[in-house]
A and B are shown apart, each in its own frame.
Chain A
Amino acid sequence: MSTNLLRWIPLLPLAGAVLNIFLGGRWGKKFSGGLATVAVLGSFLISLWVFSVLSPTGILRDTLYTWIDSEPFKAQVSFQADALTAVMLLVITGIGFLIHLYSTGYMAHDEGEARYFAYLNLFVFFMSVLVLADNLLLLFVGWEGVGLCSFLLIGFWFEDHANTSAGNKAFIVNRIGDFGFLLGVLLLFWEMNRLGVPTLDFAGLKEAAGRMPQETATLITLLLFVGATGKSAQIPLYVWLPDAMQGPTPVSALIHAATMVTAGVYMTARLNFLFALAPATLSVIAIIGAATALFAGTIAVAQNDIKRVLAYSTVSQLGYMFLAAGVGAFGAAVFHLFTHAFFKACLFLGAGSVIHAMGGEQDMRKMGGLRPRLPITYWTYLIAALALAGIPPTAGFFSKDRILLEAYSSPHGSFGLWLVGWITAGLTAFYMFRQLFMVFHGTSRASESVQAHIHESPPTMTLPLIVLALGSITAGWLARPSHNVWDPWLQAVLGRSNPAEHGEAVNETLLVVLTVGLAVLGIALAYFIYGRARRIAAEDGSLWQVLAHKYYIDELYDALFVRPFTAAANWFARVFDPVFIDGAVNGVADFVRSISSAGRRLQSGNVQHYLFAFLIGTVFIFVYWLRW
C-alpha cells in the first residue's frame, strides 16, 4: 500500500528543528519548546494512524525520490512501515513526545532552550528515518544522524570540558562501530552483486540472502554486529554510554535509554533473515549480550551517581536484548526493547525530577528521605524499578522472562546463557532497589540549603512520569501467555513461531519462579543493607573498589588505545609533520628557487641587454639561412 502520509513522520520534527535553529532564539523559550513538542506529537499521531491501518503482513510505502541511480544499482529515499517499524515508531514518537513535554519543564531555566529542542527534534527525525528506511543505505543515514545528535546533546552544556570530552568519546567510539557496520554493508552489497541482485533494499535482501554462502553471511553479520555493539553499547564498545550521562537528563532518557541505543537491536531484528543464516554470529551475539548484561550489572551495583546506575543498567538490559537476538528470539528482543523503553525512560525522567529537586546534585550518598517530598516521582520510580527488576505483573516481568525462557529452551540457547541471565536478573533487582532506598528512603543527607529547596516537579514533568509508569505496568500484557498479541503481530517480519511451540519441554513455571524468587531476594538484600540503615556505610572492600572503578576498563582502554594513539599523533605533529611533510614541501620550493635564481640573472630588466640577445639571435638565424 502506498501513502504520502508516511514522510511526514520524519519531516515534521525536521521542520521543527529547522524552525527552532533559525527562529527559536527570536521567538522565545515557551515557543521553541511548544513547537518541538507539537511537531513530535504530529509524528506520534501519524504513527498511531499507521499502526491502526497496518495489518501484520502489510507494508506501507512512501517513495520520495531516487537518491542514487547507478545502473544496475538503485537506492531510493523511500520509507516503508511494516509491523516492526510500526512498533518502533510508536516507541520513538510516543516516548519522544512525552520526553519533549517533560523537557519543556526540565529545561525551563536553561538559556539554550531553542538549541536543545532543535537537537532533540533533529534526533527524532533521524531516528524515524532509521526505522522507516526501506534500504540499508538510508538506514545508515539515520544511523549516523542519531550518532551526531547524540554527540551534540551529550556536549550540550559545552562550557564544561567534561561534557564535551564525553561527547567526543561517544562519537569516536561510535565511529569505530560504524566503520565495522559500513564494511558489513559494503561486503553485503558486493556479495549481492555477485549473486546477480545488486540491491540493498530489505525486500530484495530478504529474497536473495538465502543463496549466500554461510561463510560470507557470517562475516557480513559479524561486521554488522560490530556496528551494533557501538550503537547499542555492548562489550567492547559500551564505554561511551555511561559517560553520555553528562548530557541533560531527558536526553539520557530518550536517546541513551529508550531509542537510539536500541538501534543496534532494531538493525539485528530487521536483518534477522541474514543473521539466521549465520549460527556462528548468533552464538557470538548471545555470548556478548549475556556477558554485557552481567558485566554492566555488576558495575551498576557499585555506582553512586544516580544516572550512572541507570546507564549501566541500560547497558545491561541491552545485553539482554542481544542475548535474546543471539538465541534467535528476535520477537523477545524487540519486546524487551519495547517494555524497556517505558520503564527506563520513566526511571531516567524520575532521576531527572530528583536531580531537579536537589538542585543538580547527582550523588546518591547525598540524597535520602525524598519520598514524602516527591510523592509522584517516588511512586512512578517504584513502579518502573519493579518493572526493571522483573516483578509480576509489570512489563519487565513478561519481557525478561520471555528472554530467559528463550535463552534456556531455544535451539541456540543453553543452560549457561540462562544462568548468566538469571544472575543478572538478581543483580538488577538489587541495584535498582539499592538506588531506590538510597534516594527515597531513610533520612536526608543533603545540606540544609538544598533541603529547603526540595520540591515536586511541575505537571509538565510529572505527567510524562505517570504515563510512562502506567506503560511500565501495562506494556508487558501484550505478550502475556494467556493472550499473546505480540508474537502474531511481528511474526511476518521476524518469522518466528510462538515460543511454546518448539524446543525441548522445559518447566516454564519453575524458571519463572526461580527468576522472580531471585529478584525478590535481591530486593530484600537491598532493603537489609540500604533500606534500614540510618547512614550509608563507607564501602571500601577491594572487590567494591574494582566495581566502583568499573573494572578499570576505562583505564585499560586509555593505556591500550588512547595513550598510544595520542603519543603517535603527537609524534606525527611534532616530528613527522615538520620534518617530512614540511620538509618535502619546502624542499621542492627551495629547489625551484635555487634553480630560478640562476635563471633570474638573464632577466636583467635592462632593455639593451634584451636587444643585444635579440641581435645575436637574429644574426644566428641570418647565418643559418645563408649557409643552406
Chain B
Amino acid sequence: MTPAPLEYYLILSAVLFAIGVAGVVIRRDVIVILMSIELMLNAVNLAFIAFSRFLGALDGQVIVFFVMTVAAAEAVVGLAIMISVFRHRQTLDPKDMQLLKW
C-alpha cells in the first residue's frame, strides 16, 4: 500500500483551517469561536506533521508539541475569561461585548 501523497494532507489541512476561520468569523458563540481556533491550530499541526513525515525531519513534530501546549494554555485562559464574562453579563455573544467602543 503506497502512502497517501503530501497534497492530500495539505488539502485536508487547508480545508480544516478554512472551516476554522469561517467559524471564528461567523459564529455567535464565544465557546464555538474558541473551538474554531483550536481547529485552526490543529490544521496547522497537521501540515507540520505531514511536512515532517515527508521531509524526514523531526523539527515539525517538535513544533507541534509546542503548539499543543500553547493551545492547551490558551484554551484554559480563554475559557476562564469566558466564565468571568458570562458571570458579569449573562451572555457569550461577541456582538454584546462592545464596551470599549465609544
Q: Which A residues lie at the B interface, using CB under 8 A?
A: 600, 603-608, 611-612, 615
Is B95 an interface residue when CB atoms closer than 8 A count as contact?
yes
Distance (whole angstroms) from the CB of B31 to the closest CB of chain A = 14
Distance (whole angstroms) from the CB of B100 to the closest CB of chain A = 7
**CA A603 to CA B101, docked complex, whole Å:** 7
Is B21 an interface residue when CB atoms closer than 8 A count as contact?
yes
Give the contacting residue for A608; candidates B24, B99, B101, B102; CB below 8 A: B24
Return chain B residues, CB-CB under 8 Å to A611.
Answer: 24-25
| Cross-chain contact A605 with B101 (CB below 8 angstroms) | yes
Q: Which B residues lie at the A interface, using CB under 8 A?
A: 21, 24-26, 94-95, 97-102
Distance (whole angstroms) from the CB of A623 to the closest CB of chain B = 15
Distance (whole angstroms) from the CB of B49 to the closest CB of chain A = 23
Distance (whole angstroms) from the CB of A65 to the closest CB of chain B = 55
| Cross-chain contact B21 with A615 (CB below 8 angstroms) | yes
**CA A608 to CA B28, docked complex, whole Å:** 9
Q: Which residue of A lies closest to B28 (CB)?
A: A608
| Cross-chain contact B101 with A612 (CB below 8 angstroms) | no
Distance (whole angstroms) from the CB of A306 to the closest CB of chain B = 71
**CA A615 to CA B21, docked complex, whole Å:** 8
Give the contacting residue for A612; candidates B25, B98, B99; CB below 8 A: B25
Return chain A residues, CB-CB under 8 Å to B102.
Answer: 600, 603
Return chain B residues, CB-CB under 8 Å to A605.
Answer: 97-101
Distance (whole angstroms) from the CB of A606 to the closest CB of chain B = 6
Return chain A residues, CB-CB under 8 Å to B95.
Answer: 606, 608
**CA A606 to CA B101, docked complex, whole Å:** 9
A-B contact pairs, 13 of them (CB 8 A): A600-B102, A603-B101, A603-B102, A604-B98, A605-B97, A605-B99, A606-B94, A606-B95, A607-B97, A608-B24, A608-B25, A612-B25, A615-B21
| Cross-chain contact B98 with A606 (CB below 8 angstroms) | yes
**CA A603 to CA B25, docked complex, whole Å:** 16
Return chain A residues, CB-CB under 8 Å to B100.
Answer: 605
Q: Which residue of A lies closest to B22 (CB)?
A: A615
Return chain A residues, CB-CB under 8 Å to B101.
Answer: 603-605
Distance (whole angstroms) from the CB of B37 to the closest CB of chain A = 10
- Whether A608 contacts B98 in the complex (CB less than 8 A), given A615-B21, A615-B25, comes out as no
**CA A608 to CA B24, docked complex, whole Å:** 7
Q: Which residue of A lies closest to B97 (CB)?
A: A607
* Across the A-B interface, the 7 shortest Cβ-Cβ residue pairs: A605-B101, A605-B98, A612-B25, A607-B94, A608-B94, A606-B95, A611-B25
**Which of A603, A606, A612 has the largest number of chain B CB atoms within 10 A?**
A606
**CA A603 to CA B100, docked complex, whole Å:** 10
Return chain A residues, CB-CB under 8 Å to B26.
Answer: 608
Distance (whole angstroms) from the CB of B102 to the closest CB of chain A = 8
Return chain A residues, CB-CB under 8 Å to B99.
Answer: 605
Distance (whole angstroms) from the CB of A346 to the closest CB of chain B = 76
Distance (whole angstroms) from the CB of B101 to the closest CB of chain A = 3
**CA A606 to CA B33, docked complex, whole Å:** 13
**CA A608 to CA B26, docked complex, whole Å:** 7
Return chain B residues, CB-CB under 8 Å to A612.
Answer: 25
Distance (whole angstroms) from the CB of B20 to the closest CB of chain A = 11
Distance (whole angstroms) from the CB of A76 to the closest CB of chain B = 58
Return chain A residues, CB-CB under 8 Å to B94.
Answer: 606-608
Distance (whole angstroms) from the CB of B16 to the closest CB of chain A = 16
Distance (whole angstroms) from the CB of A411 to the closest CB of chain B = 83
**CA A615 to CA B24, docked complex, whole Å:** 11
**CA A603 to CA B98, docked complex, whole Å:** 10
Return chain B residues, CB-CB under 8 Å to A607.
Answer: 94, 97
**CA A361 to CA B79, docked complex, whole Å:** 91
**CA A604 to CA B100, docked complex, whole Å:** 10
Distance (whole angstroms) from the CB of A214 to the closest CB of chain B = 71
Distance (whole angstroms) from the CB of A553 to the closest CB of chain B = 63
Return chain B residues, CB-CB under 8 Å to A606.
Answer: 94-95, 97-98
Q: Which residue of B lies closest to A600 (CB)?
A: B102
Distance (whole angstroms) from the CB of B44 to the closest CB of chain A = 14
Q: Which residue of A lies closest to B21 (CB)?
A: A615
Q: Which residue of A lies closest to B96 (CB)?
A: A606
**CA A615 to CA B26, docked complex, whole Å:** 12
Distance (whole angstroms) from the CB of A379 to the closest CB of chain B = 85
Q: Which residue of B lies closest to A606 (CB)?
A: B95
Return chain A residues, CB-CB under 8 Å to B97.
Answer: 605-607
Return chain A residues, CB-CB under 8 Å to B24.
Answer: 608, 611
**CA A450 to CA B98, docked complex, whole Å:** 82
Excluding A603-B101, A615-B25, 20 further A-B contacts by CB distance (< 8 Å) are A600-B102, A603-B102, A604-B98, A604-B101, A605-B97, A605-B99, A605-B101, A606-B94, A606-B95, A606-B97, A606-B98, A607-B94, A607-B97, A608-B24, A608-B94, A608-B95, A611-B24, A611-B25, A612-B25, A615-B21
Distance (whole angstroms) from the CB of A612 to the closest CB of chain B = 5
**CA A604 to CA B97, docked complex, whole Å:** 11
Return chain B residues, CB-CB under 8 Å to A603.
Answer: 101-102
**CA A606 to CA B98, docked complex, whole Å:** 6
**CA A112 to CA B30, docked complex, whole Å:** 75
**CA A114 to CA B101, docked complex, whole Å:** 60
Distance (whole angstroms) from the CB of B42 to the closest CB of chain A = 19
Distance (whole angstroms) from the CB of B23 to the closest CB of chain A = 11
**CA A491 to CA B7, docked complex, whole Å:** 116
**CA A615 to CA B97, docked complex, whole Å:** 20
